[in-house]
Amino acid sequence: MIDLSVDFGKFCLKNPIMTASGTYGYCDEFDAFLDVTNVGAIVTKGITLEERPGNEGRRLFETSGGLINRIGLENIGINAFIKQKLPRLRELDINFVLNIAGKTEEDYVQLAEISQREGIKAVEVNVSCPNVKAGCLEFGTDEKCLYNLISRIREKYEGFLIIKLTPNVTNIEDLALAVQNAGADCISAINTVKGLGVELNFKGTKVAKSLVQGGLSGKCIKPVALSMVKRIKEAVKLPVIGLGGISNLNDMLEFFAVGAEAVQIGTENFTTPDIAEILAKELAEFIAKQGFRDLKHLKEELRK
């Protein structure tokens, strides 16, 4: 057996492959496609204090090499999650991360308190969703606001605290430092890139135009994600979970090469729903075939 484990101290993974928030669901939506026990961890759909219906109108727009979404954090709310979804996650006995989002600092603090009370081992704080009118990016683009928010969350939550950063900034290093100084345990990067989808339909000289402005994900954002992960690793000592455009083994290896300790698979889940399990198997086979001792040895060689 090849050792693929990742030890974050407070949180340990059997392998470095996670499913990204918003692309897997809450707990068992992908049961028909893969054995989730073979995945390092799943990250839940973003959860807010109250139930959210999400944005009205068209929410998805497929583009070359990617997907634009403006879901708007549709979710069932924390109380329903605890009653309806958390028991199933515990029954499955798998690693999971609760992704949380809020409009105000108080929203985040209350969610942190609830997470602590419920004994949730790992939380990912969404301060980077571009598809809501209040919260998230308001905190994730200003280092002082971000520091204050994460400091308050840290006071209430003792578990493994991951902060999900946005690429829609020029100063990702300053934001990463604010996260580190506020006491977070880990950074995940990146969330979606702001994008615009344009659909044109012509009937003679008449044009029907449809616009979808939201977050761009998928293969096309991988170079941006790799750059951001590298910059973050050069600025802070915190471990980084890399995500953005990963669809095959080589993509994952590239993220390891620039410093990521683990990865999250997002948009590829929609077209290849068992991709996380496939990559776990392919990674073990690759390490054995190439003669590396384990995942740690592979990462060491990739970073020389």
Catalytically active residues, by annotation: 129
Calpha distance 240→186 (Å, rounded): 6
CA distances from 100 to 77, 107, 136, 208, 287 (A): 10, 9, 10, 38, 35
Amino acid at 265: I
Calpha distance 72→56 (Å, rounded): 9
- Of 127, 100, 97, which is closest to residue 19 (Cα–Cα)? 97
Contact (Cβ atoms closer than 8 angstroms) between residue 39 and residue 18: yes
- Of 302, 296, 299, which is closest to residue 5 (Cα–Cα)? 296
Give residue 20's region: left, alpha or beta (phi > 0; psi -120 to 50).
beta
Tokens of 45: 């759909």
Question: Which residues have CB under 8 Å from 236's CB, separation 6+?
Answer: 173, 176, 177, 179, 180, 187
Question: Which residues have CB under 8 Å from 111's CB, separation 6+?
Answer: 47, 48, 49, 78, 100, 102, 123
Calpha distance 238→252 (Å, rounded): 19
